[in-house]
Chain A
Amino acid sequence: MSKEFLQPSEELKRLAEGISGLRRDLQTTTLSLGRMERRLKAAFPNYPAKKKAAKESKAVPATNKSTEELNKIFDSLVVATKEEGDAGFDRAASDIEKSVILAVAIEIGAGAASRLTVPKAKRGIRRRVQESLQLQF
């Protein structure tokens, strides 16, 4: 083999040294950044201004459907899934108003009202539908 090229063991050693060097630089940079950040916070405690996490719009109006009505809607989703599978669920769920979807999910205990979004509600309902199908006599 030509002496122009490094032996594998030499190549390995060079790479290891390179990695150590980079790690040292990274540590130094992190330390410097940390120091600067601490000085900044000491001088300007409120900087940067804390932004409140933008809450997902809950513009979905509440529904006035009763427990019985919501349970019937859930049953219709079970039937749709039983007949046409997941596609049936998606089709039936897309025909239901968002506020009703949220209310159904809450009614069947598939999510808490304060943290529920429409996609989460659909996922929760789909899981319950699958359980319901498996629990049939």
Chain B
Amino acid sequence: MLVKQISIFLENRPGQLAKACRALAASNVNIVTLSLADTTDFGIVRMILDDHVKGFEVLSKAGFAVRDTEVVMASVADRPGGMAELMEKLDKADVDIEYSYAYALGNSDKAVLIFKFKDNAKAEAALAH
């Protein structure tokens, strides 16, 4: 499934991530999952929010450089080998992964993976099989 992800630019100094989270909290936007990519000087926070449009607006207003990206959400069985099966399909279809992160749903036997592919559509097609 294609979903919208929000990315923000974070300087590498204390309090930056907290500031973003506070802004979202104040507007009652929930973070479904996030991942942090960083270099020595700056980072990029990527987030899936329960209200993407509102979240985008809130973070822009708070002064962050914000961008939205389409990513692919895929669920796998939360057991050994679950991820391996999924990767097998992607491998066969020869798609490039730019980045990925995962989260587990609370009371379920599913885990959810977020992928940014070089070619999201091609990957989605591969996963549908």
Instruction: Tell me, yes or no, whether A binds B.
Output: no
* Chain B interfacial positions (CB closer than 8 Å to A): none
Which A residues are within 8 Å of any B CB, using their own CB? none
